[in-house]
Amino acid sequence: MTMTDPARPAADTTTRTGYNVCTICDIGCQVRTTTVDGEVTKVEQHDNPLLAKNICYKGTAAPKIHNHPERLRVPLKRVGERGEDRWEEISYDQAITEIAERLQTVVDTYGPEAFGVSTSGWNTQTTHGLDRRFMNLLGSPNWTSGVSLCAGNTAAVSRLTYGWYTLPDFDNTNCFVLLGHNPRKHSWTPVYNWLENARARGATSIVVDPRVSEQAEKATIHLQIKAGTDAALLLGWVKVIIDEKLYDEKFVEEWCVGFDDLKRRADEYPLERVAEICGVDAELIARAARLYAEADGAAIPWTPITDMQIDSTSSIRLQCILRAITGNLDAVGGERFFGLNPGYRTEAELQLHDEISPEQRAKQMGYATHPAYTYRTAEMLRPHMKRVWGHEWIDMVMGCHMANPSEMFRAMADGDPYPIKAFFTLGNNSLLSYPNQHQILRAMLNQDLIVAHEIFMTPTAMLADYVMPGDVFSERNHIADSWAWTSNLTLNEAVADAPAESSSTFRFWTDLAHAMGFGDRFPWQSLEEVIDHRLEPSGMTFEEFRAAKYMDVQPPKYRKYRTTGFATPSGKVELSCSILEELGFDPLPYHRPAPAPSAEFPYRVFSGVREDPFFQTGQRNIGVLRRRVPAPHFFVHPDDAARDGLVEGGWARLETAHGEVRMKVSIQDSMRPGHIRVPHGWWYPETRGQTDLAGAFLSSDAVLTVDTDDVLDFEQGIPHFKGYPGRISPCTAPEGMSAITLGTE
């Protein structure tokens, strides 16, 4: 018998309204949900004036998602060959029992490190760190997530420089810099609103993007660089700021180490060299650097673009360095260190990282080779985190002690350096979410056990042995803490019934722990109990929180470092990073050229791009969203299209040395010539049963990229998605496309 209650509200025959944190994407907007007879009928703007604008059309489509006719409702067990997509329905208890038995067999045969997990906290929300808790008690360090190449890695690398991860002080900033990032009304909506408000106050903006994006059109300065040259550009900025003494000399003198070394490194990047690398006028680069440095409060918001480059660690560190030397760290209008909310236990506290032995931690994939966001750096930061923030283990944006996904999939596929033979994927369409999709497929075909926890059947779930039906935000109680990025706590209320046997990841991990014999370490029997436990320091229960507030917001405190120092080995901002040096890497940031275009592959391709109707690989099965973008499109410049015979709306084949995909063509003046923009995560759910894995290999950008060491960022092992060589040519549509994709509906 499983231990937990499904934790669903009583059957409801009336209209109810509740407040939720939308999880259709990762930004976490606060919305209001209405249900009738227990079914979601409307998701709309919050009625609190501070929160009302934070909603997009994905959020208002949530009823279509939550009530979709093909939503998974009961556990499924594979009956055909792996990937054949044939299933039998089984009970939840049977699924948990069999999964526990088969996982135990893998652990007994290969060791606990042979168990790997990939997840997306944005999609599952309610895990409360119990996945890591389960793994730590079992002895496996091999947990990874999409945040390894999107935001989580930024958090981990930022900590190497100043011991925390910042968020812009948007309400007070006078200048912001967007490195390829393009917040729009319906993508990263709260950030878009913050930026619009800042502009309305008179803030200037600098946009760095190979494309004239929506944000670039509004920018004070647009630097239309060659894709993937951000680190060189930022080194040029550092040189201008140092040469022209635009830095905060007092802050640098009192709170930074390694300034002279940084200056020497920046001297290697005179503007003429930077202009040549980036393909942008040198004087424009200097003007942008001055605009940023001279603003009375300036911010560089997080960007996914530098999370996915061959010199990602340097690019991220350069943003940290610019914030520091210009005096914008934890300053009004600059970038805040929110710290932790003292009233809410962190997920890391529940994860029990001291329960897994140091020897097992050292087996984590990436620990020895690309350690920047693994346990290895987290271990080195422990005393400093404790000194400044009061906790040794702090998991910011879930990204601060992860396994490297490329190494995990290699181990799953080839047993190198040791086999991983059981793989759980939760709220994460893993097959399409990391580079080298062909290797991920080989990896999954080589598993003894795969479990997927999902709300819809995905190509990844089709490869599983068991598919567990997940819940959605309207069906669960939760308090969202933004994974320690901020100290805000936000209410999420269950207002609908989860259908049939659908349930939370909390329930899954808790019941699995009981089935495997360590349920005594999972004492909470409902989501409300675990939330009460986390809220205990506040003196409130979940019900009391719900009755009192929509959000808990801590009053801002700036320049806290003056009393605590920074959580680094030196206690200061490490412009020259002692941890990277100790690990054998260059302690200073650098530009590393990506593989250059050639006669065979003349374009610079950038992929991993988000489209408004979709979050990552999701929502292609939602009618009202899919019809806004029915098919994937390459963006190409008119001159390139003319030369290669591409026509608007026609199909084209994009090839790299590693794979090919097909999409339609969109000819755009906004593109920098010689560049191709590729949207992320395309597959065709409606073709399930008619194309292999519902078209997972036809248009997915993960097919185009590899993750061999020559194209990985040295420190993190992150692949290069922003400017790799490719070629494009006209073609016909793939076989089996639906009328909606073809535009003949």
Partner 1 sequence: MAARSELSHRLLELKTGAMGRMAPKVLSRKTDGLDGLVKKLIAKSPPAAPDESLVDELAHPDDVPEIVTRPRGE
* Residue 327 touching partner 1 (CB under 8 A): yes
* Residue 4 touching partner 1 (CB under 8 A): no
Closer residue to partner 1 (CB): 173 or 526:
173
Query: Other C-beta atoms within 10 Å of 83: how many?
Result: 18
- For the segment 373-392, give every residue that binds partner 1 (CB under 8 A): none
Q: Which of 5, 84, 89, 171 binds partner 1 (CB under 8 A)?
A: 171
Q: Where are the alpha helices (DSSP H) in 111-141?
A: 121-124, 130-138
* Residue 339 touching partner 1 (CB under 8 A): no
* Residue 733 touching partner 1 (CB under 8 A): no
Q: Which of 556, 649, 673, 743 binds partner 1 (CB under 8 A)?
A: 556
Closer residue to partner 1 (CB): 253 or 359:
253
Closer residue to partner 1 (CB): 145 or 490:
490
* Residue 493 touching partner 1 (CB under 8 A): no
Is 178 in contact with 215 (CB distance < 8 Å)?
yes
Q: Which residues contact 673 (CB under 8 A, 6 or more apart)?
A: 637, 639, 640
The number of CA neighbours under 13 Å toward the Cβ of 706 is 13
- Complete edge-to-edge strand list for the sheet that includes strand 204-208: 221-223, 204-208, 175-179, 298-299
Closer residue to partner 1 (CB): 456 or 635:
456
Question: Which of 60-68, 103-111, 120-128, 718-726 is the region at the interface with partner 1 (rule: CB under 8 A)?
Answer: 60-68
* Residue 74 touching partner 1 (CB under 8 A): no
Closer residue to partner 1 (CB): 26 or 169:
169
- For the bound state, the minimum distance from the C-beta of residue 635 to partner 1, rounded and expressed in Å, comes to 22
* Residue 740 touching partner 1 (CB under 8 A): yes
Closer residue to partner 1 (CB): 48 or 109:
48
Cα gap 195→299, rounded to integer Å: 11
CA distances from 121 to 63, 129, 397 (A): 21, 10, 9
Q: Which of 276, 549, 709, 732 binds partner 1 (CB under 8 A)?
A: 549
Residue type, 340: L
* Residue 186 touching partner 1 (CB under 8 A): yes
* Residue 60 touching partner 1 (CB under 8 A): yes
Is 95 in contact with 466 (CB distance < 8 Å)?
yes
Is 159 in contact with 396 (CB distance < 8 Å)?
yes
Take residue 398 and report the two structure tokens written for it. Answer: 């879930």
* Residue 617 touching partner 1 (CB under 8 A): no
* Residue 247 touching partner 1 (CB under 8 A): yes
Is 488 in contact with 552 (CB distance < 8 Å)?
yes
CA distances from 426 to 67, 131, 143, 152, 472 (A): 20, 10, 11, 17, 13
* Residue 328 touching partner 1 (CB under 8 A): yes
Closer residue to partner 1 (CB): 112 or 685:
685
Is 400 in contact with 376 (CB distance < 8 Å)?
no
Question: Which of 338-346, 360-368, 440-448, 616-624 is the region at the interface with partner 1 (rule: CB under 8 A)?
Answer: 616-624
Take residue 507 and report the two structure tokens written for it. Answer: 């329930």
Which three-class secondary structure state does DSSP give residue 21? strand
* Residue 68 touching partner 1 (CB under 8 A): yes
Closer residue to partner 1 (CB): 88 or 710:
88
Q: Which of 552, 611, 707, 715 binds partner 1 (CB under 8 A)?
A: 552
Question: Which of 384-392, 409-417, 615-623, 699-707 is the region at the interface with partner 1 (rule: CB under 8 A)?
Answer: 615-623
Which three-class secondary structure state does DSSP give residue 335? strand
- Residues serving a catalytic function are 26
Q: Which of 297, 339, 569, 659 binds partner 1 (CB under 8 A)?
A: 297
* Residue 487 touching partner 1 (CB under 8 A): no
Cα gap 29→686, rounded to integer Å: 29
Assign 3-class secondary structure to 39-102.
EEEEEEECCCCCCCCCCCHHHHCHHHHHCCCCCCCCCEEECCCCCCCCEEECCHHHHHHHHHHH
Which residues make beta-bridge pairs with 644?
Answer: none
- For the bound state, the minimum distance from the C-beta of residue 286 to partner 1, rounded and expressed in Å, comes to 16
Cα gap 672→666, rounded to integer Å: 14
* Residue 505 touching partner 1 (CB under 8 A): no
- For the bound state, the minimum distance from the C-beta of residue 312 to partner 1, rounded and expressed in Å, comes to 26
* Residue 548 touching partner 1 (CB under 8 A): yes
Q: Which of 12, 93, 294, 581 binds partner 1 (CB under 8 A)?
A: 294
* Residue 445 touching partner 1 (CB under 8 A): no
- Mark residue 88 as left, alpha or beta (left: phi above 0; alpha: psi -120 to 50; beta: remaining): beta
In our burial notation (b when 16+ CB lie closer than 10 A, e otherwise), range 598-609 reads: eeebebbbbbbb
* Residue 176 touching partner 1 (CB under 8 A): no
* Residue 52 touching partner 1 (CB under 8 A): yes
**Binding mask of the shown chain, residues 21 to 50, with x at each position contacting partner 1 by CB under 8 A:** -----------------------xx--xxx
**Strands 298-299, 335-336: parallel, antiparallel or unpaired by DSSP?**
unpaired
- For the bound state, the minimum distance from the C-beta of residue 212 to partner 1, rounded and expressed in Å, comes to 22
- For the segment 104-143, give every residue that binds partner 1 (CB under 8 A): none
CA distances from 58 to 122, 136, 198, 590, 612 (A): 14, 36, 24, 39, 8
- For the bound state, the minimum distance from the C-beta of residue 248 to partner 1, rounded and expressed in Å, comes to 5
* Residue 596 touching partner 1 (CB under 8 A): no
* Residue 555 touching partner 1 (CB under 8 A): yes
* Residue 523 touching partner 1 (CB under 8 A): no
Is 202 in contact with 174 (CB distance < 8 Å)?
yes
- For the bound state, the minimum distance from the C-beta of residue 218 to partner 1, rounded and expressed in Å, comes to 17
Closer residue to partner 1 (CB): 555 or 584:
555
Take residue 99 and report the two structure tokens written for it. Answer: 């999964």
Q: Which residues contact 715 (CB under 8 A, 6 or more apart)?
A: 157, 313, 370, 371, 372, 580, 583, 585
- For the bound state, the minimum distance from the C-beta of residue 29 to partner 1, rounded and expressed in Å, comes to 11
**Binding mask of the shown chain, residues 648 to 677, with x at each position contacting partner 1 by CB under 8 A:** ------------------------------
Is 136 in contact with 441 (CB distance < 8 Å)?
no
* Residue 332 touching partner 1 (CB under 8 A): yes
Take residue 120 and report the two structure tokens written for it. Answer: 């997306």
Number of chain positions touching partner 1 (CB under 8 A) = 70
Which residues here bind partner 1, judged by CB under 8 A? 44-45, 48-53, 55-57, 59-61, 64, 68-70, 169, 171-172, 185-186, 193, 197, 245-249, 293-298, 326-328, 331-334, 547-553, 555-559, 620-624, 626-627, 685-690, 738, 740
